[in-house]
Chain A
Amino acid sequence: MRRFLLSRLLQSLVVLFIMSFVIYALIGLMPGDPIDLMISANPNMTAADAAALRAIYGLDLPIYERYWNWLTAALQGDLGYSRLFGQPVLDVLLPALGNTVILMGTAFTLAVMVAIPIGTLAASRPRSAVDYGINLFAFAGISIPSFWLALMLIIIFSVFLGWLPAGGIAGANAGFLEYISYMVLPVLTIATLSIGSYTRYTRSSMLETLRHDYIRTARAKGASRRRVVWKHALRNALIPVVTILALDFGFLFSGALVTETIFSWPGMGKLIFDAVMGNDFNLALVALLFATALVLTANLLADICYAWLDPRIVIGGGKV
């Protein structure tokens, strides 16, 4: 197991190193630079000013030189400053990550808590009214575009009913309930989309599991339907679902760009997008690497969970 973890850690470091260069190069190859944005806001800026600024920001250097400068500084613990926000990268990144973890974590938890029971329920009563109802809900969740759902929720709950704020994040002195009120609509948007797919995965997996011989044996031995489903089948049915959840878990930290943009939620998705579009090399790079690292970690966790759920699976040459 230790060997497995060590090998995966080394692989992850190599992936991160390669990704850092790829991301840096891709952002660097995009046309335009931050000075172009400054020129568009200031018609009095002269060509000489622009050239001087490019030199000060290091934008006149070749891409490999800029990358090398960044890498050597980063290895010494200096991740640099965000050009867009004028602050150390981590000072910008960590609050955004915090906002994303709260938003996406809540949505993820809600989605799992709803999807697994209703997916199981649907599978346990196939082709019943309950099954059709749950399927309808699941397909609706999968089919609705997030921007449309978000706007509809705003129109219903903010414009029409006036119950919840239409977007933004609560102020520093806001109470718990006010803070929650800003989260309700974005969480509902993200969770609805996830519930749809998780419910379908759970239902399919459970249907498959319920066809196995050992389930039939359990039934023949007189176990109740509830016991068969929740005690015997669920654990096995969850194996593929957990893999998907674990993989999704990594992506949670990249944020949800569309939802965050529509609800003006200052999370990672919006931050990464703004950083890439604003040519904020340091911020974009570190944020994307952070997201990559979390996806890799989630993959590793998925492997471990997989083995935990199914004792037949052995990783790293030994049993977990």
Chain B
Amino acid sequence: MTLEATQTARARTTGFALLALIALAACGNSDDASQQSAATGGEDDRELVIGMTQYPSTMNPNVDAMVAKSYVRAMLMRGLTRFNHDWELECGLCVELPTLENGLAKLIETPDGRPGIAATYEIQPGATWGDGTPVTTKDIQLAYDVGRDTTTGAINTDMYRRIYQLEVHDDKRFTTYTDRVTFDYNVLGDFYPLPDHIERELFESDPYEYRHRTNYNADVTNPGLWFGPYLVAEAQQGSYLKMKRNPHWWGKEPYFDTITTRAIQNTSAMEANLLSGTIDMIAGEIGLQLDQALAFESRHGDKFNIIYNPGLQYEHIDTNLDNPILRDKRVRKALMYGMDREQMSKQIFAGKQPVAHTNVSPLDKTTSDNITTYSFDQERAIALLEEAGWTDIRDGVRHNAAGEPLRIEIMTTAGNKTRELLQQVIQGKWKQIGIDLRIRNEAPRVFFGQTLRERKFTGLALYAWVASPELVPRSTLHSTEIPTTDNNYAGQNYPGVNIPELDAAIEAIEKGLALKERLPHWETVQQIYSEELAILPLFWRPNPYVYPRWLRGARPTGHLDSSTNWIEDWTRE
């Protein structure tokens, strides 16, 4: 060894020793410190700082959709309707929900002779933009005009397309005319007024450029853009958004003077920020993953309230029905019997992630118990595989009469530790019944953007759906929604489900106005779903909310109408 090399090696050894000492000192003391920080977090009595992993893009409610945006927007403005904590539809900006029963909604005939529905809404009388201008039907009209204009790039174009006419009665009342009869005729949660006195001119001067020139991008601190409990006070793109009270808010006075949302993408840094008191809480809707929250709870659970709220994120495995092995229902059933989901829930998720039986959440009012369920039963799984012709076991793998191995490929999003762990557990269990499961994962962009979208997965695909209460599974289960080259890969029926009875039940749900009319069809959907098993249900993923112990009134919803829709109920103990 040369002198230089000896020196280098000595220096390296000493360096690592020093580093280890620093790390030990930091880790050893961090517990006391975090206790101190957690206690002093939110020291300013009326200030709340929320950590989240994304920064919202444009804040214009008609442009772009993002969970981060929904979370922040709920503090700044309210949609006409919303789903409450019991997953019931209620008014947000409107006064009374129009229904056929109360006469505010009526069955009509559209100009082209089809059945439709007219629903009349009234805007909250005190609703006022932050600059003191009342929220009126002019603002509703502008939102409608922007949404209907096909060049603006507005999201929810389907909603605006269905409303073929908007009739304004006075400053506060208007009627929507919908071109079809569906049960969700009065759901206008994505309908937000746009301030006519600020945005109309921008829109009319160039509808195509409106999405770029809107003041929601260029002048986000303009109080006239908001009518919620808070207004934007300061914004630093990609970093933080500070909100202050809206002096013109018509509803219950919020407790906090200012609320700041800070975007911290790295979850380890997010935890450190929380422990240091730089942020007070982590948004459950867009914060830690379940495994991270469980690890955090084990270290610091005594200093925070950690709530695991069951939500509408549904982890499942799609089977590609074009695969000759998976086309056989007996094999799909064997896969289900061969998985010990209860054990996985207990061991991996500390029992916080309940087992799913269908695509309908047990918390949804349309859930049915009259379905086929599958508990871990290896003998039954083996019997089904034998019945399907997979009888010859060589090197631990089953083969059929043609000598083909029972080999299936499973894919998921690379880097998602929880899913990768699930894959390995499933692989081990299926190996015990003679199934050779091969794991091939891809970066999320490739997996979602190409492999799933173009149905390029050859066997199984493990991922999650995000739903809303009573979301009709047309896009995921109806046969017209199978992505193909002919329809330019539109639709999200990735397994290729094509069951006429299921299509009919989905269509019947959409048309059933009363819940009791829809329930039998929902039951049919769930029965077919659980019996056919084109999609293997796994778990209902909860959102972990990390709240400071002093925070009161914050209640997770479990659906996409985030907890901040009730920000005025949040207080400090």
Contact = CB atoms under 8 A, between A and B. Distances in A.
Q: Which of under 10, 10 to 19, 20 to 34, or 35 or more describes the interface residues of B?
A: 35 or more
Contacts of B36: 162
Contacts of B240: 168-169, 171
Nearest to A85: B237
Query: Which one of A43, A49, A81, A84 has the greatest number of beta carbons of chain B within 10 Å?
Result: A43
B515 interface: no
A283 to B, nearest CB: 11
Nearest to A30: B445
B299 to A, nearest CB: 12
Contacts of B451: 31
Interface stretch (B154-162, B222-230, B424-432): B154-162
Interface string A61-92: 00000000000000000000101111110001
A95 interface: yes
A223 interface: no
B368 interface: no
Contacts, number: 228
Interface residues of A, number: 73
Contact of B15 (A127, A143, A162): A143
A45 B237 contact: no
Interface in A135-175: 135-136, 138-140, 143-144, 147, 150-152, 154-156, 158-162, 165-169, 171-173
A144 B266 CA distance: 18
A242 B205 CA distance: 54
B276 interface: yes
A274 interface: yes
A266 B234 contact: no
Interface in B341-368: none
A152 B8 CA distance: 25
Interface in A17-50: 30-33, 36-50
B18 A140 contact: yes
Chain A interface, >50% SS class: helix
B23 to A, nearest CB: 6
Interface string B45-69: 0000000000001101001111101
A86 B238 contact: no
Contact of A41 (B65, B237, B490): B65
B11 A270 contact: no
B30 interface: yes
A159 B155 CA distance: 42
A49 B160 CA distance: 11
A52 to B, nearest CB: 6
Contact of B37 (A50, A57, A87, A162): A162
Interface stretch (B111-119, B127-135, B136-144, B465-473): B465-473
A148 B131 CA distance: 47
B516 interface: no
A48 B152 CA distance: 15
Contact of A168 (B239, B467, B468): B239
A264 interface: yes
Contact of A31 (B12, B262, B450): B450
Contacts of B467: 43
Contacts of B65: 38, 41-42, 45
Contacts of B490: 47-48, 50-51
A165 to B, nearest CB: 5
A135 B92 CA distance: 65
Contacts of A152: 22-23, 26
A36 B490 CA distance: 11
B29 interface: yes
Interface stretch (B76-84, B175-183, B213-221, B320-328): B213-221
Contacts of B216: 86
Interface in B478-536: 481, 487-488, 490-492
B198 interface: no
A167 to B, nearest CB: 6
B123 to A, nearest CB: 23
Contact of A32 (B3, B446, B491): B446
A48 B236 CA distance: 34
B110 interface: no
Nearest to B38: A159
Contacts of A167: 262, 264, 269, 272-273, 278
B155 A264 contact: no
B217 A87 contact: yes
B265 interface: yes
A96 interface: yes
Contacts of B158: 44-46, 48-49
B102 interface: no
B319 interface: no
Contacts of A162: 33, 36-37, 276-277
B373 interface: no
A298 interface: no
A57 B153 contact: yes
Contacts of B491: 47
A237 interface: no
A132 interface: yes
A307 interface: no
Contacts of B64: 38, 86
A177 interface: no
A48 B487 CA distance: 10
A309 interface: no
B34 interface: yes
A297 interface: no
B490 to A, nearest CB: 3
Given A33-B449, A37-B66, 14 more contacts: A44-B190, A46-B475, A47-B492, A53-B153, A56-B152, A84-B57, A85-B58, A136-B14, A143-B15, A143-B19, A155-B26, A155-B27, A171-B240, A263-B269
3 nearest A-B pairs in the assembled complex, by CB-CB distance: A32-B449, A47-B490, A86-B58
21 contacts: A30-B449, A33-B449, A36-B453, A43-B466, A45-B158, A46-B475, A47-B475, A47-B481, A48-B490, A52-B157, A87-B212, A87-B237, A143-B12, A147-B268, A155-B26, A159-B272, A166-B269, A166-B276, A171-B234, A171-B236, A262-B269
